Amino acid sequence: MEHENGSTRRVQRLKCCVQNYDWGRIGTQSGVGRLFSRNSGVEIDQDKPYAELWMGTHVSAPSFLVDILENDGNFVTLEKWIQQNPNVLGDKVVQNWGTRLPFLFKVLSIRKALSIQAHPDKRLAEILNNANPNTYRDDNHKPEMVIAVTDFEALCSFITFEELKVVLQDVPEISVIVGTAYTEQVLNVRKQDEQEKGKAVLQSIFTQLMSANKEVISTMLRSLIDRLMDEKKARILTSKERLVLRLQNEYPDDVGVIASLFFNYVKLDPGEALYLGANEPHAYIYGECIECMATSDNVVRAGLTSKKRDIEILCSMLTYNQSFPEILKGVPINSNTRRYTPPFDEFEVDHCILQQGASVIFSAQPGPSIFLVTSGNGTMHSETGDIVSEGDVLFAPASTEISVTAASELHLYRAGINSRVF
């Protein structure tokens, strides 16, 4: 095993893991599948979903260094190498987070909706991990950000009271499910009382909906779908109504289909980004994206899923914020690169596009970085020159200046510690 010598100052190539969740795009239709195949040398299975490529140290899907071996001849994990060589993180990172990489970098390829979910804050994560470590694998919070690679759709945070009142009036099936008393509570909230009473009233009706009897949900959903199919003959359905039809097709008779009407329906163009703090409800619907988050895999689910649901926990943990999320466009840091900076210390992401023959310098950072090449090829220079191409993932230690020259149009992303930490 190599220790603190030249190896800790060099950029290290990583072999990364894939997650084959059933909502992933299938075979070569999946950007994740194509990147994983190039990264690992494993041929794509045309019948298998490829949902997420993970780049980092999380135990659920760790990355490995391809140029450094254990004594038994196996690849060493990035996590173990960092723990044995903490200098690669930089002093400030070790001071703030110890000897673990604070962020987890991913690519997602989404064919059908992910679950309605939220990620716990640090205190709740510790409680959940202690009580049920098989489901909640770590004790960390999980703020996250997605950057759209293709057109991207998501549900995120609750709609305003004004919008919710329209939904309750237009979708009478909800009143049948939750009871008219809960519907009336919402309809009777006056504008001036929203701040004082709003969250409690919203929590009350949402909890009642998510906890409803499955047979009632099934009956009312079929009524809603039949009504929408009839109305489709006479008028153009709204985007939210069309989404309800799609979700019913993907997750028949699931409470999440109706719950989707409570959330903002967000559409991102390629290059736009969305960030989510702890305890914010969301569900990614469709598209491909780059994702970065604090190093955690804690997810509390309540709908649009075949996995374990923790409805009581989810409904009690949410912020019940009612506002449309901020959309980040990225800020140019040079002519080739845009930086996406969420309000979280653990990470930021740069997206760089280089035309053939062009070069860019990533200045030395006080913390570590992970680079992902999503298309094209070129040369990456630190202490040595490495040929890089689509699917390559590289770990750059703290205080390493990186220059990249494109041999063809080259797209790459860099995840690193949020610059505000330094």
124, two tokens: 């709740």
Annotated ligand binding at 3? The verdict is no
Annotated ligand binding at 119? The verdict is yes
Tell me how far CA of residue 296 lies from CA of 122, 212, 255, 349, in angstroms: 10, 30, 27, 17
Cα dihedral 295, 298, 302, 304 in deg (nearest 10):
50
Report the amino acid identity of residue 403.
S
Residue with the two structure tokens 């190599």:
2
Q: How far apart are CA 279 and CA 158, in angstroms?
A: 12
Annotated ligand binding at 351? The verdict is no
Q: Is residue 13 annotated as part of the catalytic site, yes or no?
A: no
CA angle, corner 54, sides to 48 and 58, nearest 5? 125
253, two tokens: 């008779």
Q: Taking phi first (over 0 means left), then psi (-120 to 50 degrees means alpha), and beta for anything else, what does residue 320 get?
A: left
Q: Is 5 exposed, middle or buried (0-12, 13-18, 19+ CB in 10 A)?
A: exposed
**How much is the CA Rg of the chain, to the nearest whole Å?**
23
Residue 185: HSE in the Cβ half-sphere, 13 Å Cα cutoff: 17
Strand order in the sheet with 393-396: 75-77, 64-69, 12-15, 393-396, 369-375, 410-416, 348-354, 337-340, 331-332
Q: Which of 34, 111, 301, 414 is catalytic?
A: 301
Catalytic residues: 301
**Annotated binding-site positions for Zn(2+):** 117, 119, 144, 282
**Annotated binding-site positions:** 117, 119, 144, 282
